[in-house]
Amino acid sequence: MAEERPTIYLADLTGCEPAAALSSTPRQNCWQTVPYEAEGLSGTMLLADANCTAPALTLPLNVQGWHAVHLGVWTDWTDSSIRVKLSGDACFTPAITARPTPTDPEWHSGFATLREAFWTFADLSGQDLLIEKMDRWEGRRAGLAYVKLEPLSEAEVAAIKQDRARTDTKRLIAYDDAWRLDPDTPEEALQEGVEHYRHSDFQKLLWCIGSGSETYFFSDVGEPSVRAEWDFLESFGRPMMGGMRTMQARGLDPLTKVIEYAHDLDLELHGMYLVGGWVYPPNHGFESRFYYQHPQWRCVSRSGRPVTRMSYAFEGVRNFLLALFREVAERGADGVNLGFVRGLPCLLYEQPMIDGFQQRHGQDPRDLPEDDPRWLRFKAGVMTDFMRALRNELNQVGEQQGRSVQLSAYVLNDEARNMAHGLDAATWAQEGLVDFIIPYPLYDVMEMDIPAYVRMTRGTQCKVYPEVMPRRQSPAEYRQKALEFYAQDVDGLAFWDANTTSRSGFKNEWSMVRRLGHKDELAGWAPDEWPSYRVLPMYSMGGLVMDEANAYEAA
């Protein structure tokens, strides 16, 4: 960093405005100001409990030029969550600091620490910092101790701009469930769900369009999630359905808006579909009328018992899905992704499957072992025919709109499990039906046979992006996992649940994740190079001693 411009710590946050929203004691509609002493600095932090309706604050920065911005957060036995943005930003960015645990190497006297995480590089000239609680979906505790501003030299700024302009590092894929709307400001919530990919190595965002016949956009084919009678059943269902109704009243479509926001960041937006989510257990709040209207099209077990899935063996199911996916493409999505890792099977022993197999092989498949190679190939043929039909639909849309519409799929962790469900990824790749596949570690923990996927796609245009699990890892662990995957010659990496509360909100981890497309540079990075992250032991807080027998020790 430039020596003539020292690092700035904004540690006394009583300068936030409006002053009327600050209180030295806990009060509803206010942030509590709490003096503290920590290693290397002292000041006054801001706290607000989960159920406190503290308003937005503005912190004058009073600096010029480019800086690296870090957030110093206090958290106790719960995660601390805030939303921040510069006054010139389009929307807020959620930032979550995970609660400490005894297994953390930086565990100091229980909860007696401040945790600092990198947020962004930005030109702060004439800008203020806006601070809000993260109450969009549910009340969350908020705590901010300081803001750290590191001035950047001209050479450092030039390097940052050069890096942001690169396209060769764009090899990451994110998936988002798309449930995070807000009844009052749904458009802003959608934009927030995209904003954290700005200046990152992410190339594609897979945005969930729905499951079964229920859609998270205003489909003319499916059933939009706007059922007022169900919005009390799930914590995530309430804001989503409320936000959907607000957008409906404003004549806006979530899919169209999220495509617009993504394209503003040069980010591809693919509509992702959960293939088997037709109904859920009672009192869940998500289910498809289509499932109940067409019981004759359900999957059937080997014993003849109806299974809680709709079967792709039936023309009526296939036609519905083809129309839905075509609609997504016509709305402007860059592609359609089928999530075969949620809700299998899609095919079992339905009558069309039995009749078709008997016609070809002269046997009833129910008399054969479930893993009989002929039965597995037959199932795979039925699903591949569906993928061919879908590829044709998307090609037609592309020809009409003068662009390419991609088709992709999440698949299971190895070939055997895929073929057991009729998923012949090798044929899809060899026939050019899919543009990329994402191997997924079944149940989030199973090993993936990455070499097999690399072999089956070699010589084709299909790319391989293995899923990176678990969702929460240290920056060093993320870096190591990426190096291991790249060593197996994959094309990039995928991140299920890259949304705020699962990955991107945890800024210390995210500042590594967002750069994992830097394939050629990763090996040369120190494990802690990204992010600049540290933990500061605390000495006192609100006049209470924290570094020796602090108040939390009783817990």
Q: In the predicted model, what is the mean pLDDT of residues 227-235?
A: 63
pLDDT computed for residue 1 by the predictor: 40
- Which band of pLDDT confidence, cut at 50, 70 and 90, is reported for residue 136? low
Within its chain, how far is the Cα of 515 from the centroid? 15
What are the tens digits of pLDDT across the range 534-552? 888 889 999 988 887 777 6
pLDDT computed for residue 230 by the predictor: 61
172 in Cβ contact with 202 (< 8 Å) = yes
What are the tens digits of pLDDT across the range 443-489? 878 899 999 999 999 999 999 999 999 999 988 899 999 999 999 99
Which structure tokens are listed for 526? 């120190």
- pLDDT at residue 108 above 70? no
pLDDT computed for residue 392 by the predictor: 98
- pLDDT at residue 140 above 90? no
Q: Is 49 helix (H, G, I), strand (E, B) or coil?
A: coil
Q: Is 375 helix (H, G, I), strand (E, B) or coil?
A: helix
More confident residue, 113 or 119: 119
**Average pLDDT score over the chain:** 91
Q: In the predicted model, what is the mean pLDDT of residues 165-188?
A: 90
- pLDDT at residue 29 above 70? yes
pLDDT computed for residue 333 by the predictor: 98
- Sign of the alpha-carbon torsion through 396, 399, 403, 404: positive
Q: Minimum mean pLDDT among 240-244, 357-361, 490-494: which range?
A: 240-244
Determine the residue type at 470: P
The 3 state secondary structure assigned to 68-116 is: EEEEEEECCCCCEEEEEEECCCCCCEEEEECCCCCCCCCCECCECEEEE
179 in Cβ contact with 236 (< 8 Å) = yes
- pLDDT at residue 180 above 80? no
Q: How many CB atoms lie within 10 A of CB 428?
A: 27
What are the tens digits of pLDDT across the range 369-390? 999 999 999 999 999 999 999 9
pLDDT computed for residue 109 by the predictor: 58
323 in Cβ contact with 221 (< 8 Å) = yes
pLDDT computed for residue 259 by the predictor: 98
Across 262-285, b (16+ Cβ under 10 Å) vs e yields beebebbbbbbbbbbbbbbeeeeb
pLDDT computed for residue 113 by the predictor: 82
Q: Minimum mean pLDDT among 155-159, 169-173, 281-285: which range?
A: 281-285
Selection from 291, 306, 295, 296 nearest residue 349 by Cα: 306
Q: Is 134 helix (H, G, I), strand (E, B) or coil?
A: coil
- pLDDT at residue 208 above 90? yes
Q: In the predicted model, what is the mean pLDDT of residues 209-227?
A: 91
241 in Cβ contact with 235 (< 8 Å) = no
Evaluate if pTM is beyond 0.75: yes
What are the tens digits of pLDDT across the range 293-324? 999 999 999 999 999 999 999 999 999 999 99
Alpha helices (H) in 250-287, listed in sequence order? 254-264
- Which band of pLDDT confidence, cut at 50, 70 and 90, is reported for residue 2? very low
User: What are the chain's domains?
Assistant: 8-163+532-554 (2.60.120.260), 167-524 (3.20.20.80)
- Which band of pLDDT confidence, cut at 50, 70 and 90, is reported for residue 4? low
- Which band of pLDDT confidence, cut at 50, 70 and 90, is reported for residue 288? confident
- The fraction of the chain above a pLDDT of 70, given in percent, is 92
